[in-house]
């Protein structure tokens, strides 16, 4: 008998029929004698609607009330799934974040889980019940509802699996596992049998939204085996686990893209010590993460500075930067929301030269202009015009021979 956490994403619970289908799957696991905790997302599209409503109501809505609004989609699905399980004759009880409780810090809209109390869940499991937990939400130490950032139900599931010392965390979604790139835009994408925490972390943080980055951090830290599978088929999924010898030692293991960033450029920034710190401090204070930063070499004691932030933070970031630009007597502030970041990821890159030039040549051949570049030991990212995203992903996937035919399956 095992303790299993299963998470079903938005598409998997998109309507009542699908919720019934999820209930049948959960029931099958329960019937095998396992203890089951299910985490669900809101119905697909629901959280977007709630975010829109908040944005229509107030200019910068993020704060306590924003999380009160955007967390509600999951309340519907936990209730419906519990009803569906009861309809099949199983004992089921739903829990909102605060009822578990899942305790977080108070960074509304991107809160981090600090602690999960497990007594309530264990007591329901002991009674033989299936426990259904709302993904994406928690409660801070003052009793305020918080949310964990978009895609946060993955993190709820993995964090629960870690806290409950579950045997496995199964993530059920609308694709059959983790692929070399998004199978929805590259039909040639190849499903991976296994992927290491580190590579998955890199892929997730660069846009492969099949798992939220924080969920992979949790999995790695607490050594939780994560199985990514389809909620619609019985195909074997992808195991996210510790690196082992059977894993591929390829130079590039995946291609990712992120259309969720925007670019801000400050022209004619005075080239003096302390200026960059002045520009970024207000952003840090507003809890806005800056991703790529590029500063040009200065000529005539001025320089241009460009950086990217998530689209959700863009308006606020622009407002803050425009304020500081005036104070430091910089030039114009320019912005662009029609960008995408395309990246190639692979642990093998560490020891191979020429990967970057191959990437740039491949994009040049298609006439794709590169606006910004950033690299780490195991990834190279390029910011491009958003309209070339799919094309860039496909040609890079092909150039690095990641497709179905070219690479032999690992054992």
Q: Which residues bind ligand ASP (CB under 6 A)?
A: 9-10, 41-42, 47, 73, 135-136, 150-154
- Shortest Å, Cβ 299 to ligand ADP: 41
- Shortest Å, Cβ 183 to ligand ADP: 6
Residue listed under structure tokens 């059959």: 176
178 lies in the binding site for ligand ADP (CB under 6 A): yes
Quick one: 43 or 85, whose CB is closer to ligand ASP?
43
Torsion of CA 121, 126, 132, 136, to 10 degrees: 20
- Shortest Å, Cβ 328 to ligand ADP: 39
Quick one: 41 or 82, whose CB is closer to ligand ADP?
41
- Shortest Å, Cβ 192 to ligand ASP: 21
Q: Which does 42 bind (CB under 5 to 8 A by kind): Mg ion, ligand ASP, ligand ADP, none?
A: ligand ASP
- Shortest Å, Cβ 172 to ligand ADP: 7
The span from the CA of 281 to the CA of 268, in Å, is 19
175 lies in the binding site for ligand ADP (CB under 6 A): yes
Quick one: 22 or 103, whose CB is closer to ligand ADP?
22
- Shortest Å, Cβ 44 to ligand ADP: 6
Residues 180-219 that bind ligand ADP (CB under 6 A): 181-184, 208-210
Q: Mask: binding to Mg ion, 148-177, rule CB under 5 A, as x and -?
A: ---x--------------------------
Q: Provide the terminal-to-terminal Cα distance of the chain, rounded to the nearest Å.
A: 28
What's the 3-state SS for the chain?
Answer: CCEEEEEECCHHHCCHHHHHHHHHHHHHHHHCCCEEEEEECCCCCHHHHHHHHHHHHCCCCCCHHHHHHHCHHHHHHHHHHHHHHHHCCCCEEEECHHHCCEEECCCCCCCCEEEECCHHHHHHHHCCCEEEEECCEEECCCCCEEECCCCCHHHHHHHHHHHCCCCEEEEEECCCCCECCCCCCCCCCCECCEEEHHHHHHHHHCCCCCCCHHHHHHHHHHCCCEEEEECCCCCCCEEEECCCCCCCCCCCCEEEEECCEEEEEEEEEECCCCHHHHHHHHHHHCCCCEEEEEECCCECCEEEEEEEEEHHHHHHHHHHHHHHHHHCCCCCEEEECCEEEEEEECHHHHHCCCHHHHHHHHHHHCCCCCCEEEEECCEEEEEEEHHHHHHHHHHHHHHCCCCCCCCCCCC
- Shortest Å, Cβ 5 to ligand ASP: 14
Residues 5-44 that bind ligand ADP (CB under 6 A): 9-12, 41
User: In this structure, are residues 194 and 239 in contact, taking their beta carbons and an 8 Å threshold?
Assistant: yes
Quick one: 173 or 389, whose CB is closer to Mg ion?
173
Q: Mask: binding to ligand ADP, 39-78, rule CB under 6 A, as x and -?
A: --x-------------------------------------
Chain-centre distance for alpha carbon 118 = 25
Residue listed under structure tokens 């919720």: 19
Q: Which does 94 bind (CB under 5 to 8 A by kind): ligand ADP, ligand ASP, Mg ion, none?
A: none
Question: How many chain residues touch Mg ion (CB under 5 A)?
Answer: 2
- Shortest Å, Cβ 48 to ligand ASP: 7
Q: Which does 167 bind (CB under 5 to 8 A by kind): Mg ion, ligand ASP, ligand ADP, none?
A: none
- Shortest Å, Cβ 23 to ligand ASP: 19
Residues 252-291 that bind ligand ADP (CB under 6 A): 254
Q: Which does 175 bind (CB under 5 to 8 A by kind): Mg ion, ligand ADP, ligand ASP, none?
A: ligand ADP
Quick one: 172 or 400, whose CB is closer to Mg ion?
172
Contact footprint for ligand ADP (CB under 6 A): 9-12, 41, 151, 173-175, 178-179, 181-184, 208-210, 254
Residues that bind Mg ion (CB under 5 A): 9, 151
């Amino acid at each position: 008998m095992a303790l299993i956490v299963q998470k079903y994403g938005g598409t998997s619970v998109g309507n009542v029929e699908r919720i019934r289908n999820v209930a049948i799957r959960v029931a099958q696991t329960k019937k095998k004698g396992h203890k089951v905790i299910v985490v669900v997302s809101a119905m697909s599209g629901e959280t977007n609607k709630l975010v829109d409503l908040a944005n229509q109501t107030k200019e910068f809505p993020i704060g306590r009330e924003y999380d009160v609004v955007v967390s509600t989609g999951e309340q519907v699905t936990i209730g419906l799934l519990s009803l569906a399980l009861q309809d099949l004759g199983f004992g089921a009880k739903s829990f909102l974040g605060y009822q578990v409780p899942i305790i977080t810090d108070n960074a509304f809209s991107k809160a981090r889980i600090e602690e999960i109390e497990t007594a309530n869940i264990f007591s329901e499991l002991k009674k033989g019940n299936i426990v259904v937990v709302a993904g994406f939400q928690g409660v801070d130490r003052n009793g305020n509802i918080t949310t964990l950032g978009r895609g946060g139900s993955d993190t709820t599931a993995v964090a629960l699996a870690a806290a409950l010392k579950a045997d496995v965390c199964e993530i059920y979604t609308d694709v059959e596992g983790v692929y070399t790139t998004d199978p929805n835009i590259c039909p040639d994408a190849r499903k991976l049998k296994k992927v290491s925490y580190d590579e998955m972390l890199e892929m997730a943080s660069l846009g492969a939204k099949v798992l939220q980055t924080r969920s992979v951090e949790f999995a790695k830290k607490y050594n939780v085996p994560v199985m990514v599978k389809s909620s619609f088929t019985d195909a074997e999924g992808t195991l996210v686990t510790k690196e082992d010898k059977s894993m591929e030692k390829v130079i590039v293991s995946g291609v990712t893209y992120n259309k969720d960033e925007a670019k801000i450029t400050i022209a004619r920034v005075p080239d003096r010590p302390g200026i960059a710190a002045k520009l970024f401090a207000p952003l840090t204070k507003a809890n806005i993460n800056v991703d790529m930063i590029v500063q040009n070499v200065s000529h005539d004691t001025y320089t241009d500075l460009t950086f990217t932030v998530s689209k959700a933070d863009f308006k606020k970031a622009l407002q803050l930067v425009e304020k500081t630009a005036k104070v430091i007597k910089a030039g114009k502030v320019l912005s662009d929301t029609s960008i995408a970041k395309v990246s190639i990821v692979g642990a093998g890159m560490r020891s191979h030269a020429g990967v970057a030039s191959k990437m740039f040549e491949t994009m040049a051949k298609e006439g794709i202009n590169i606006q910004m570049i950033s690299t780490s030991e195991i990834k190279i990212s390029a910011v491009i015009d958003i309209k070339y995203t799919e094309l860039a992903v496909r040609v890079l996937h092909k150039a690095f021979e990641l497709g179905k035919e070219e690479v032999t399956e690992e054992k």
